[in-house]
Chain A
Amino acid sequence: MHAFEYVVPKTLQEVINLKAEKGDEARLIAGGTDIIVQMRVGRRRPELVVQTKEVSELNELSYDPQKGLTLGASVQCYRVYQDDAIAKAYPGLIDAASMIGSIQIQGRASVGGNLCNAAPSGDCIPPLIALRAVASVAGPNGTREIPVEEFCTGPGQNALEPGEILVSIHIPPPQKLAGAHYLRFIPRNEMDIAVAGVGTSVVLDESGERFVSARISLASVAPTPLLVQGVEESAAGQLANEETFERLAELSKLAARPISDMRGTIDQRRHLCGVLTKRTLRGAIERAREA
């Protein structure tokens, strides 16, 4: 690995100042499970590595049933899924956080890092999009908010401007009769990159039989994870039955823009979008009725 300097700042302002001064020559490290690999193969060669573990804003994990979830950018996957209140409120996020890599990886890797790395296959991203998560960003020109579905701009590319960093991700509080689910297809049982992934969230009406709303997000079938357009309108007021699921699955298949590669073909991926959309709808609805 190339030689670099290493610092452990204590405040968010110090991190922002370092990024403002050094730009892309300063890279932040949370769990390191992407950046260390990228540096080892020479794909990134920053002059300065900034460890974020001592910055409180980046490590905040707080949930309030009225305010929702604030997930600091450096919070590791395990902290998310070992918190019972969070696990109960956001099971769709837990599906992904407990699926990424191995137990070893989940002990280090952060949800925020998964988002910033902006892999088309990033498992945490579809549930974040489905759950209407918003990214809080800070930089030399102040702070701004970016809906997660607009955060990834291409494979490995994100919407952060030079000098900006992701501070936290905010997910609104779960509504009554709401549920979410994330599933991916891989040829193995664990430790693989999704051929296709689907994250779905639903809100049902008092009867538990009709949709109030639904959101569906896809991974690994486009240059970025994406929000399926038209789902909200198509689901609202409809019966939560197989006929509706079939219609929403068609929307997913239309939204997918997959490529053929070593993991799967265009046709297989599009097919998987339909299958996983229906499965995650059933899963999310079951959770909504139990919630």
Chain B
Amino acid sequence: MTSQKLMVHVTINGEGTDFLCEPRQSLLEVVRDVLGLTGSKEGCGDGNCGACTMVLDGRIVDSCLVLAPEVDGSTITTVEGIATPEGLHPVQQAFLEEAALQCGICTPGLLVASKALLEKEPNPSEARIRHWLAGNLCRCTGYDKIIRAVLKAADMMGAQKA
């Protein structure tokens, strides 16, 4: 059985776009395979690892656990939407400077989730960062460098504002 394809309109990384999808396709699948934005990764496919984290209408979600037709009319940011023409976002810069990655599979999700935290809470404690990022698993670097990078990004973003 195949189901009828549905037309979905979204604003992704600031640009409006339409795509056709089957109801059974996930947001992650469509963003990667139809829209060609392959920054977001599939780790577990069941909402444990956070590698596919995107911002959906202002909240971070696991895009593997969103059906593509559900996002009709929504605004989405993926890791590709974090940097600007002027350069990397402070979160990205801090991850580089602190070497907060090895294989990099978890990094897109961690960047999206970390940026979302810092926009909501500019000066989170280490405990708060660890709690917020509990849904983003990394299996190589270990978390200390990641936490240090987020703390550094918070400082950088604070200095930008000052």
Contacts and interface: CB of A to CB of B under 8 A. Distances in A.
Interface of A: 1-6, 29, 31-33, 36-37, 39-40, 49, 51, 53, 78, 101-105, 107-108, 189-191
Interface in B41-66: 45-48, 50, 53, 56, 59-62, 64-66
A102 B23 contact: no
Given A36-B67, A104-B62, A108-B65, A3 B50 contact: no
Contact of A3 (B22, B46, B136): B22
17 contacts: A4-B24, A5-B4, A6-B3, A6-B6, A29-B70, A32-B70, A37-B65, A102-B47, A102-B62, A104-B47, A104-B53, A104-B60, A104-B135, A105-B47, A107-B56, A108-B61, A189-B134
Closest 8 CB pairs of A and B: A102-B135, A6-B23, A190-B134, A107-B59, A1-B24, A3-B3, A104-B62, A37-B46
Interface of B: 1-4, 6, 22-24, 26, 45-48, 50, 53, 56, 59-62, 64-67, 69-70, 113, 130-132, 134-136
B60 A107 contact: yes
B47 A33 contact: yes
Given A6-B69, A108-B66, A191-B48, 4 more contacts: A5-B3, A31-B65, A102-B47, A189-B130
Given A6-B6, A33-B47, A37-B46, A105 B67 contact: no
B23 A101 contact: no
B60 to A, nearest CB: 5
A19 B25 CA distance: 23
Nearest to B58: A107
A267 B47 CA distance: 31
A101 B61 contact: no
A4 B65 contact: no
A33 B67 contact: no
B2 A3 contact: yes
Contacts of A107: 56, 59-61
Given A32-B70, A105-B47, A2 B65 contact: no
Contacts of B131: 189-190
Contacts of A29: 67, 70
A101 B1 CA distance: 33
Nearest to A2: B24
A125 B78 CA distance: 34
B60 A32 contact: no
Contacts of A190: 131, 134-135
Nearest to B46: A37
A191 B47 CA distance: 10
B59 A6 contact: no
Nearest to A105: B47
A82 to B, nearest CB: 10
A37 to B, nearest CB: 5
A122 B53 CA distance: 24
Contact of B61 (A6, A40, A104, A191): A104
